[in-house]
Amino acid sequence: MLATDSLPHIGRIAERHPGLRLTIDRVGGRGGNMHEYLRQIYDAFGPARMFWGTDITKMPCAWRQCVTMFTEALSWLPARDKPLVMGQAVCAWWRWKKPSTTMEDRR
C-alpha cells in the first residue's frame, strides 16, 4: 500500500494485528535522500523484509539505474543480502512458489 501520510495509522493497525502481512510501497511515499531511508528500513527490518521494486513509469532515470542503485550503489548492503532484497524475500513474504524450471530449461 502507498502510505504517504498514513504510517502512524497503519502502525497502530499492525500492532493490533501482529499476524497481518502488510507491504508498504515506495518507502512510505517519501522522496529525498533514498539511501538514508533504505538504510533505516534495512536496519529496522533486515533483508528478509526489504523488497526492491520500482514504478518505472514515474522514474526520471533508466530501468538499469533503478536496479543498479540496489545492486551497486548501496555500499552498506552486503552481497549475501542482495538476492533477498532483489526478489527472493518478496517471494517468501507472499509465499509465492518458485518455478521448478528456469527459462533455459524450457528451451
Question: Looking at the predicted structure, is the pLDDT value of residue 85 above 80?
Answer: yes
Q: Measured between alpha carbons, how far is 23 from 49 in angstroms, rounded to an integer? A: 9
User: For 70-79, what is each residue's pLDDT tens digit?
Assistant: 899 899 999 9
- Reported as a single tens digit per residue, the pLDDT across 2-48 is 777 787 888 899 899 998 888 877 665 555 687 888 898 899 889 99
Burial of 56 (0-12, 13-18, 19+ CB in 10 A): exposed
| Domain extents in the chain | 7-97
Confidence of residue 103 (pLDDT cuts 50, 70, 90): low
CB within 8 A of 26, min separation 6: which ones?
2, 55
Chain mean position to CA 23: 9
Q: Is this prediction's pTM over 0.75?
A: no
